[in-house]
Structure 1
Amino acid sequence: MTSEPSSPGTIDSAPALLEAFRGAPTSIISDNLSRLPGAVGLRPFHRGGQLLGTALTVRTRAGDNLAIHQALKIVRPGQVIVVDGDADISRALVGEIMMTIAEHRGAAGFVIDGAIRDAAALAASDFPCFARAAIHRGPYKYGPGEINVPVSIGGCVISPGDFVVGDDDGVVAFAPAIAAALLEKVQAQMTREAEIIKTIREGRYRDEYAVPTASGS
């Protein structure tokens, strides 16, 4: 049986802070999270565009998507459905129909530690979807599963309500409590790297990139 806490607590209480990460590369966010692994092994299957939202977490048995269907019933606008599918790629957990439901209900995207199908339809869509692989085989729908519990996604522990950011390089997640301090570091590194690129293009580069910084970049 799929279980879920009575108080999910996944709705973002600081939308402006989350929005401030729009356009921030996951590589730079990762650098300033002590280069922790992030959700390793996942790649984007959608046409393009950044994933940005708060985590609605799902843990399910490998190859079974009953809990994901239940999460689709409660997902709220701006939430990313983050699924711990035990990294199993033998059966797809979501496809075009579930993507369409999620998009229609205002979800911000999917992060699937497992497989998807209908890859061509997802590739033609702007709805963010990250997963390990694509396969034609469909899922079971028996359970068990859990909603709004901490999950492990490719070596990254993601808790309900965490900020989730994804781009062509992959997915990172972090607690809202550290977001403000993290944002300052990310913006500083983005400014520094933009200046380095400018000096390279203008012929003024003097190996500044080799100098260690607090973030280790």
Structure 2
Amino acid sequence: MNRSVLQVALDLVEIDRAITIAGEAVLGGADWLEVGTPLIKSEGMRAVSALKSAYTDRLIVADMKTADTGAIEVEMAAKSGADIVCVLGSSDNSVIAESVRAGRKYGVKIMADLISVPNPSVRAGELEKLGVDIICAHTGIDQQMIGTDSLDLLMKVIKEVSIPVAAAGGISEKTASGAISAGASIVIVGGSIIRSSDVTESTRRIKNAMNRPAPYTGPDKTSDDEIREILSYVSSSNVSDAMHRKGSMTEMKPLCSGTKAAGKAVTVQTFAGDWAKPVEAIDTASEGDIIVINNDQGVNAAPWGELATISCINRGVNGVIIDGAVRDVEGIKKLQYPLWAKAMVPNAGEPKGFGEIGSEIQCGGQTVSSGDWIIADESGVVVIPKNRAYEIARRAKEVYNTELRVREELRQGKTLAQVMNLLRWEKHP
């Protein structure tokens, strides 16, 4: 191939939205338009035909992810207007060979997708020998969520074949540049473009990055830094969606309107308003942490007040969550400190020193361990288990970006029911 190609993956489920977004991407410089697997499963071959009719000057890729009946599926896609048909690289050799033969017959190219192939470097060579035209070094969404780097796969594969290789899987401006530098002929981008509030500009930025290849040096943030950055702009609602409605505390109310907190939990178990361990936890906490307190035995005495809050501010503690009561409300509100509690009372407990710092506790109906991540805003408080924090943060980012695109379509005049195509997906008896 004489130039690098930007392929935009239209991983949507509605034809009309796909056509609109495709048009915006074309304005930004998209070269190939991919009818994504979700769109094909939702709308069938008419999605391929519709995209081809709307954009006759662009190559159309049908991401069939064919695993069997290669000849039939390639024929379907080709006759519907596809120029390139994508099959699964993990398919049996007989399926690949039959797809290649059908591709030659109907004048379309065959792209083999290496998603989840156990030994991608070896399989890429085998696929080239079987006659496929393009290898797709693809890191799947679920793999991306746990931190698998898509360019690692690309670099393993590209030296094993002489046919064009496409890079796919969470590609950004930085990784697009790195992919071209590593030798990719095609960069496939989905979410970074189709979920953008400005599809045209996002496409243009990716395309410009591809025109300025630079060696990829790996992630520029630690996983903790990336989690913290994502949680700084997504909402507790985004995180709840990413966790399939898990992790949300009950009855927690923000004391100060408009505040938000995100950070690692420092857990405290205390009893009947005993404020010794909650206050001692301030000295234990690191900058950016959140103190999470279970005040067992009711809400009649508060284990927390204004002086403890001032101490938190001095230490750089990001916020406090109390399964119990808080006092000195006026003073804390003046400080506009991020604090969530179940109740407000004037009564203080006694500093007897009962309880423990760092143990597993219950708070707002959720189990919390020190080191779990907390996000809290006016919608509520959500606990993210530390062993899934990176994955959940990245999934929340996907939810956030999807909503950006929906907001833009609402701004353009659609109703939410139209954007979400609710009538189509309603259950009927």
TM-score range for the pair, normalised by the shorter chain length? 0.7 to 0.9
Q: Which runs of 5+ in 2 are unaligned?
A: 1-221
Q: Once the 2 structures are TM-superposed, how far is the Cα of residue 40 of structure 1 from its aligned partner?
A: 1.0
Structure possessing the higher radius of gyration over alpha carbons:
2
Q: Once the 2 structures are TM-superposed, how far is the Cα of residue 127 of structure 1 from its aligned partner?
A: 2.1
Q: Once the 2 structures are TM-superposed, how far is the Cα of residue 47 of structure 1 from its aligned partner?
A: 4.5
Q: Deviations over 1:45-90 (max 9, x none)?
A: 1253210111110001122112112212322211111101127211
Q: Once the 2 structures are TM-superposed, how far is the Cα of residue 177 of structure 1 from its aligned partner?
A: 2.5
Which one of the candidate residues 406, 410, 416 is aligned to 1:196?
406
Judged with a 3 Å threshold, the aligned counterparts in structure 2 of structure 1 residues 211 and 122 are, in CA distance, closer, same or farther, namely: farther
Partner of 1:36: 246
Q: Once the 2 structures are TM-superposed, how far is the Cα of residue 170 of structure 1 from its aligned partner?
A: 1.0
Question: What secondary structure sits across from 2:279 in the alignment?
Answer: helix
Detail structure 1 runs of 4+ shifted over 3 Å in the superposition. 209-213
Structure 1 residues 1-217: aligned runs within 5 Å = 14-86=224-296, 88-205=298-415, 206-208=418-420, 210=422
TM-score (norm 1): 0.85
**Is the contact made by 2:289 and 2:319 (CA closer than 8 Å) also made in structure 1?**
yes
Q: Deviations over 1:186-215 (max 9, x none)?
A: 1222222222232223223414164899xx
**Is the contact made by 1:54 and 1:78 (CA closer than 8 Å) also made in structure 2?**
yes
Q: Deviations over 1:120-143 (max 9, x none)?
A: 111122321111111111112213
Judged with a 3 Å threshold, the aligned counterparts in structure 2 of structure 1 residues 150 and 122 are, in CA distance, closer, same or farther, namely: same
Q: Which runs of 5+ in 1 are unaligned?
A: 1-11
More helix by share: 2
For residues 112 and 21 of structure 1, the distance between their equivalents in structure 2, rounded to whole angstroms, comes to 20
% same residue = 26
Partner of 1:6: none
Q: Root-mean-square deviation (CA), in Å? A: 2.2
For residues 67 and 212 of structure 1, the distance between their equivalents in structure 2, rounded to whole angstroms, comes to 55
Judged with a 3 Å threshold, the aligned counterparts in structure 2 of structure 1 residues 201 and 150 are, in CA distance, closer, same or farther, namely: same
Question: What secondary structure sits across from 2:281 in the alignment?
Answer: helix
**Is the contact made by 1:47 and 1:125 (CA closer than 8 Å) also made in structure 2?**
no
Question: Which is further off, 163-172 or 28-37?
Answer: 28-37
Q: Which has the higher contact order (CA 8 A, sep 6+)?
A: 1
**Is the contact made by 2:271 and 2:297 (CA closer than 8 Å) also made in structure 1?**
no
Q: For residue 382 of structure 2, what is the amino acid of its counterpart?
A: V
Q: For residue 175 of structure 1, what is the amino acid of its counterpart?
A: P
Judged with a 3 Å threshold, the aligned counterparts in structure 2 of structure 1 residues 121 and 14 are, in CA distance, closer, same or farther, namely: same
Q: Once the 2 structures are TM-superposed, how far is the Cα of residue 16 of structure 1 from its aligned partner?
A: 3.1
Judged with a 3 Å threshold, the aligned counterparts in structure 2 of structure 1 residues 13 and 127 are, in CA distance, closer, same or farther, namely: farther
Partner of 1:7: none
Q: Deviations over 1:135-169 (max 9, x none)?
A: 11111221310110111111111110111111001
Question: What secondary structure sits across from 2:302 in the alignment?
Answer: strand
